[in-house]
Structure 1
């Protein structure tokens, strides 16, 4: 099978973790008889420096012509003072919108060998396996008007939280579809006691649930969900929520795995190529130092193999290789305990390659 992958290295540690991941994809391609070709394009701060915009038109076109998109990270202090439309993050929001990637899937699964890396008690996080499904193209991040203006002689600001019924229904339905092949439980997170948008969200979730009689639906206010995610994360299976709530909750969930460097994500739509990226940011403080943890990006590539290419065995091979590397005690700085040997980005990547090769030799 031949697949074309658009690679968007981005900023900070993005190029490092993306390079590590293409090495893993090359190993998978060799073992399973595939051909992966890579087309590179700019997004975020590097695109601002080179093209004057965070998302050049040619980047969008390259992504549309591919089978899947692998992204590193965007952002950094160099561009912090830019106006909103000229910040690196505008490129990330833009590519999601341009490709109509309305569903962000963020799996949070505990690695037993990393339980002690989390600040939470081992009995709380052991066995955690949940999926956060975040609506990605609506809500406060995209609503209009979004502006600063004058009201009554003083500076004011407005952001708009806007959703259409169809936007809510499609993300809720995606969550139920996922729950059907998991533990058959959906937690819909909202703020229905305050927000009209949440009240509509809750109504639609109830309506959709009628089409899935074998899936249990639970409603939970976002403040309670934030607490429950830390207090008792094993109660969750599939969590579905709007854009901003999902952004915050999925980052909070990183404490369950010990580090943001362990969390992958997939952004998918209906007909367009999916976008796969780690949850972590660009970490400019360690960029270029070989300290970045590549595992979240590698796991994101595994999600690409699964969700965009239908390569289930290949995706499983990557997941199992990551588990094996962690079980063998290999650590980057973000997940290492005091006294443990710390591997560089390249060294950790090499260990994943070895794990893939060892598994292939045994099969």
Structure 2
């Protein structure tokens, strides 16, 4: 059983002996299943008496500078995905929020859990995705009726930043290998710039094995032989693809935890960012991803004991298999699953 989630390398609270200071954080429930899973997370955090309190920000307007300023006044936030129109309307509010908070790295940690039946066992992969550039830069325009340009932006500075974060996180977590995923065989300048930065950083970590893989092949390899991967670092769009693939391999979008992290702020949310409108309000959502994100958040705040208690209750509930949500083979509601976790924590 995996006992410890990721150790972070940015913005951690300084550790103080006997530290019992209450951490004030932002809570952004978001849309779809966001309010349900965020409610589950706060219930469990309350049950373990974690020294955190939340300022809830509902109906978030990412264009309101005062709201953004308020969020940034806290060291971290717990978040559900914000909904938006597909194929029309303004750009993604989730992307804009990450840009305004300058959380340049998205970390998705996908690992197998005892009690969840999947095609592959013993998977443990950390996906580190550049969060602010690439195809998600939001630079699109119609150059002629029926002809649209969408501009992919890759900078050496941004690539260097994410590469340094990936190797530092790998080093801190005793990981042996970093794989850079790209499409530089076609996008020679853009993805070539990304690779140039990663190669430069790789030289500074001679004890960590480094390899490169094209995104097409990486997608196939991740489904057929996921054990060859340890830490992967990649531009924005490829990170979305690989993160979703490996999350499916360990049980689905409700399982994996994630965080968007920068130099001054950390935004914790499920690793695959699914809004799941089709099951919203029905009590069917699996809160495992956001609970594990909450455990990551507790470690980030130097509260490892509370993270262990949360993980123990969650892992025990899943391994026993008596009370599970439908997506992992059970029939329990979100509330029933959460109650069972709390019961196991309090034993």
In 2: Cα distance, 1:37 partner to 1:165 partner? 39
Tell me what 1:139 maps to: 134
Tell me what 1:275 maps to: 267
In 1: Cα distance, 2:281 partner to 2:229 partner? 37
In 1: Cα distance, 2:67 partner to 2:338 partner? 27
Alignment of 1:26-65 (within 5 A): 26-28=46-48, 30=49, 34-42=50-58, 46-47=59-60, 53=61, 55-65=63-73
Do 1:110 and 1:126's aligned partners in 2 also have CA atoms closer than 8 Å? yes
Tell me what 2:307 maps to: 315
- Alignment root-mean-square deviation, CA: 1.6
Taking structure 2 as the reference length, the TM-score comes to 0.89
Tell me what 1:198 maps to: 191
Residue aligned with 2:115, SS: helix
Offset, 1:54: 5.0
More helix by share: 1
Matched, 1:332 2:338: no
In 2: Cα distance, 1:171 partner to 1:56 partner? 28
Once the two structures are superposed, what CA deviation does each residue of 1:27-85 show, in whole Å capped at 9, x if it has no partner?
23x2xxx532211113xxx44xxxxx554333312210112111112226xx4474133
Structure 2: stretches of 5+ with no match in the other structure: 1-20
Offset, 1:344: 0.7
Residue aligned with 1:113, SS: coil
Taking structure 1 as the reference length, the TM-score comes to 0.85
In 2: Cα distance, 1:184 partner to 1:149 partner? 47
Q: Which of 53-62 and 132-141 deviates more? A: 53-62
Do 2:128 and 2:166's aligned partners in 1 also have CA atoms closer than 8 Å? yes
Do 1:24 and 1:353's aligned partners in 2 also have CA atoms closer than 8 Å? yes
Matched, 1:256 2:256: no
In 1: Cα distance, 2:246 partner to 2:156 partner? 28
Do 1:75 and 1:281's aligned partners in 2 also have CA atoms closer than 8 Å? no
Tell me what 1:353 maps to: 342
Residue aligned with 2:80, SS: strand
Tell me what 1:50 maps to: none
Tell me what 2:7 maps to: none
Counting matched residue pairs gives: 323
Tell me what 1:20 maps to: 40
In 1: Cα distance, 2:262 partner to 2:211 partner? 25
In 1: Cα distance, 2:73 partner to 2:81 partner? 21
In 2: Cα distance, 1:305 partner to 1:137 partner? 25
In 2: Cα distance, 1:184 partner to 1:80 partner? 39
Residue aligned with 1:141, SS: strand
Q: 1:231 aligns with which of 215, 224, 231?
A: 224
Do 1:96 and 1:137's aligned partners in 2 also have CA atoms closer than 8 Å? yes
Offset, 1:280: 4.1
Offset, 1:186: 0.2
Structure 1: stretches of 5+ with no match in the other structure: 48-52, 359-363
Do 1:276 and 1:304's aligned partners in 2 also have CA atoms closer than 8 Å? yes
